[in-house]
Amino acid sequence: MTDRSHIMKAAWRLYRNTYEMFCKVQFNRNGFRWALTEAWRRAKAATRNAAIPLDVKQVRAGAIRAEIDSLKFKSFQINTTPIQARLEAELSALAA
């Protein structure tokens, strides 16, 4: 569940920071519509990201494994042995 009061405050903050400097005389309905949509989008993204616990070490280990797998597609002119050794050392350090 999202806090609507927080979303409205965020929308007004976005509107003031973005549109109020340009439209000092009159309320810009389209500008506030954008600000409210953006505030809802940010709130949903924050809720979605909070629901998925990410272990930084696991994410980095997956990225290292993918990088090691991609070494076989490098040009033969590039010596991939030291790169692979460095990546494997980093992977073993993460596992420890």
Do 18 and 36 meet the contact criterion of CB atoms below 8 Å apart? Answer: no
* Same domain, residue pair 64 and 34: no
CA 75 centroid distance within chain:
32
Note the pTM of the prediction, 2 decimals: 0.50
11 pLDDT band, cuts 50/70/90, is very high
* Same domain, residue pair 28 and 66: no
Q: pLDDT, tens digit, for every residue of 19-46?
A: 766 666 678 788 889 899 999 998 988 8
End-to-end CA distance of the chain: 39
The number of helix segments (H) and strand segments (E) in the chain equals 4, 0
On the 0-12 / 13-18 / 19+ scale of CB atoms within 10 A, 35 is buried
* Same domain, residue pair 64 and 91: yes
Locus of tokens 């030291």: 82
Give the total number of structural domains in the chain.
Answer: 2
**Mean pLDDT of the region 66-81:** 87
* Same domain, residue pair 47 and 60: no
* Same domain, residue pair 46 and 84: no
Q: Of 51, 68, 86, which residue constitutes the final position of a domain? A: 51
Domain housing 81: 56-95
